[in-house]
């Protein structure tokens, strides 16, 4: 009897390719859902699909299956080891492998620190190693079962072909869509290596760059006046003013800001523009400026000027960006980066910034510049508001009707609903940052500012959503401010011009802070009576383009 059992184990008569395929995919998805957020887990199943497709083929020759087995084993091993590492980082630190937190840790850790790290986290590390190897063992058993089968049953050819075609499309999409491709196992770790090298190069040059920017600031500051004592600059992400009821949008997406706009000291520009449609470039345009119109090489850094003028700079961010951190946040006396899982699938809520902002406002420093960088409505829109945020837009309201009249796809309509829901959440966060600032403004000259780095296309001009360098929606931003009664220019706020451009923000900040410098241009500060607005060339050219 024992011998007969042995024989049956060695020679499995028949195996269903569909069943085997679905079990392999299911195991991959289960591990992914255990390790990381569901959106990323589903995306990475595309990698598992690549090494599962051969199982669907009616390969009757055992020798061929034995030859394919090592390739499939290697593919799944790479994925499950990858899941183990991602799972450890996510559950321990809410971090992704390419986050600034991880990149800096890898670059800034020596051998002794690495040993201490493994000692301190040995239980968690061993746990994720065990989980990874358990799933590798399960996959290996299933693949061996497939290899040893005497024959491959091909009883449902239509279902098999349908699965094969669907997953081929799924795999192709995962490599064609850039944000998706970037997180597949080989690309993710190539990206990690690239970011480490890039950061190493930045760190090697950062000391010299900081010294140059500091020297430039010292040489160009001419005098300081007593203006604002505290400036809170809140920077949004991917926020299009066309989707704000404050600006006349049909859906009531910003009821709190709308109420604030009726109170003394509040101002918002009816027409505000970014001159760049992506975050890093937008930051360069806002916080980097020419020191001399004849010098095209050397540029000033807004935060270097503030620091040299004696301001205490605090940086609070719910974004994860190495470029911004090294070029601008490095000037902060205190910086706090709250988001350790950058990218479109990060679900870090902006309410995280409120407690650090309250603490920063209570700092006794006589002059404070507080930067609050939100994740805003950075795509994916559905992740930019809490999961229990139960607002729903009617399929029959004005916005839905307009989208249908423009023949927008269901995908665009769903994205617009998600975007507007996230806008309502942003209304809450922005108003709370304003209220915290107002509470801390007694007997102080305080200025609160909000603008977005750039806009987003939300189906207004094209049948798609997201970053857009080719439509006005990519550059439409909100700009608003509130000034305490002691702010010297408060009485002029109601008479400010209605046009603003973000690349002139530096002149306005210097004006508000009372920082005067060589070659400054006060006609670019919206706070000045001689402000002379000029429409950005990119905006003028895009206004001539028709929308589809």
Over residues 100-125, mean pLDDT? 74
C-beta neighbour count of 129 within 10 angstroms: 14
244-264 residue pLDDT tens: 999 999 999 999 999 999 999
- pLDDT bucket at 2, cuts 50 / 70 / 90: very low
Report yes or no: 421 and 241 within 8 Å, Cβ to Cβ.
Answer: no
pLDDT at residue 110, rounded to an integer: 63
* Per-residue pLDDT at 3 exceeds 50: no
Name the DSSP class of 498.
Answer: S
Buried b (16+ CB within 10 A) or exposed e, 493-524: beebeebbbbbbbbbbbbbbbbbbbeebebeb
Over residues 266-292, mean pLDDT? 93
pTM score of the predicted model: 0.78
The helix/strand/coil state of 410 is: helix
185-211 residue pLDDT tens: 989 999 888 888 887 777 667 777 888
Across all residues in the chain, what is the average pLDDT?
A: 88
Pick from 233, 244, 69, 57: nearest CA to 145: 69
Lowest model confidence (mean pLDDT) among 24-28, 150-154, 378-382: 150-154
* Separation between Cα atoms, residue 371 and residue 360, nearest integer Å: 10
- pLDDT bucket at 343, cuts 50 / 70 / 90: low
pLDDT at residue 295, rounded to an integer: 67
pLDDT at residue 259, rounded to an integer: 97
* Per-residue pLDDT at 377 exceeds 50: yes
Lowest model confidence (mean pLDDT) among 16-20, 298-302, 537-541: 16-20
Question: What is the end-to-end Cα distance of the chain in Å, rounded?
Answer: 75
Pick from 295, 297, 309, 300: nearest CA to 216: 300
List Cβ neighbours of 172 (8 Å cut-off, separation of 6 or more): none
Q: Bridge partners of 68?
A: none
Lowest model confidence (mean pLDDT) among 112-121, 231-240, 374-383: 112-121
* Per-residue pLDDT at 359 exceeds 60: yes
Name the DSSP class of 352.
Answer: G
C-beta neighbour count of 384 within 10 angstroms: 27
Report yes or no: 154 and 14 within 8 Å, Cβ to Cβ.
Answer: no
Lowest model confidence (mean pLDDT) among 36-50, 64-78, 481-495: 481-495
pLDDT at residue 11, rounded to an integer: 56
pLDDT at residue 1, rounded to an integer: 42
- pLDDT bucket at 23, cuts 50 / 70 / 90: very high
For residue 438, give Cα distances in angstroms to 86, 230, 304. 41, 11, 27
* Per-residue pLDDT at 6 exceeds 60: no
Where is pLDDT greater, at 61 or 374? Answer: 374
User: Radius of gyration of the chain from Cα atoms?
Assistant: 28
* Separation between Cα atoms, residue 353 and residue 350, nearest integer Å: 6
List Cβ neighbours of 529 (8 Å cut-off, separation of 6 or more): 492
Where is pLDDT greater, at 541 or 295? Answer: 541
Task: Specify the DSSP element, H or E, that contains 161.
Answer: helix 157-176
């Amino acid at each position: 009897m024992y011998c007969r059992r042995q024989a049956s184990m060695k020679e499995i008569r028949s195996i269903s390719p569909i069943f085997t395929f679905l079990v392999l995919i299911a195991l991959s998805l289960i591990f992914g859902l255990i390790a990381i957020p569901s959106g990323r887990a589903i995306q990475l199943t595309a990698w598992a699909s690549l090494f599962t497709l051969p199982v669907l083929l009616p390969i009757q020759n055992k020798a061929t299956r034995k030859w394919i087995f090592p390739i499939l084993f290697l593919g799944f091993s790479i994925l499950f080891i990858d899941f183990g590492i991602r799972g450890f980082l996510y559950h321990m630190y809410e971090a992704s492998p390419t986050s600034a937190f991880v990149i800096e840790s890898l670059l800034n850790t020596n051998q002794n620190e690495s040993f201490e790290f493994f000692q301190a986290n040995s239980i968690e590390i061993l746990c994720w190693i065990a989980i990874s190897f358990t799933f590798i063992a399960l996959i290996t058993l299933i693949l061996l079962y497939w290899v040893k089968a005497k024959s491959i049953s091909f009883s449902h050819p239509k279902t098999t072909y349908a699965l094969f075609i669907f997953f081929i499309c799924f795999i192709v999409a995962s490599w064609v869509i850039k944000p998706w491709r970037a997180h597949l196992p080989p690309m993710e770790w190539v990206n990690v290596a690239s970011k480490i090298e890039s950061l190493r190069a930045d760190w090697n040059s950062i000391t010299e760059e900081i010294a140059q920017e500091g020297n430039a600031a010292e040489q160009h500051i001419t005098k300081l006046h007593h203006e604002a004592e505290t400036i809170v600059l809140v920077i949004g992400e991917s926020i299009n003013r066309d989707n704000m009821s404050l600006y006349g949008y049909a859906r009531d997406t910003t009821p709190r800001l709308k109420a604030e706009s009726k109170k003394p000291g509040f101002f918002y520009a009816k027409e505000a523009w970014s001159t760049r449609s992506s975050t890093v470039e937008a930051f360069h345009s806002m916080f980097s400026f020419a020191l001399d119109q004849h010098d095209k090489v050397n540029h000033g850094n807004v935060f270097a000027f503030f620091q040299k003028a004696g301001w205490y700079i605090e940086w609070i961010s719910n974004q994860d960006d190495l470029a911004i951190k090294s070029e601008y946040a490095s000037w902060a006396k205190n910086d706090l980066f709250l988001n350790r899982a950058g990218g479109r699938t990060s679900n870090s809520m902006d309410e995280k910034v409120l407690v650090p902002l309250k603490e920063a406002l209570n700092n006794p420093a006589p002059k404070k510049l507080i930067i609050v960088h939100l994740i805003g409505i950075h795509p994916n829109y559905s992740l930019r508001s809490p999961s229990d945020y139960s607002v729903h837009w009617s399929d029959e309201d004005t916005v839905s009707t307009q989208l249908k009249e423009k023949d927008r796809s269901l995908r665009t309509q769903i994205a617009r609903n998600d975007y507007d829901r996230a806008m309502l959440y942003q209304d809450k966060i922005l108003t709370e940052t304003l209220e915290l600032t107002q509470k801390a403004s007694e007997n102080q000259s305080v200025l609160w500012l909000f603008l977005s780095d750039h806009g987003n296309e939300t189906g207004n001009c094209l049948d798609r959503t997201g970053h857009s360098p080719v439509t006005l929606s990519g550059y439409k931003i909100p700009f608003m401010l509130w000034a305490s009664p002691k702010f010297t220019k408060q009485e002029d706020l109601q008479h400010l011009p209605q046009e603003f451009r973000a690349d002139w923000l530096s002149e306005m900040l210097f004006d508000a802070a009372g920082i005067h410098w060589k070659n400054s241009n006060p006609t670019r500060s919206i706070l000045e009576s001689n402000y002379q607005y000029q429409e950005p060339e990119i905006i003028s050219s895009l206004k001539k383009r028709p929308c589809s």
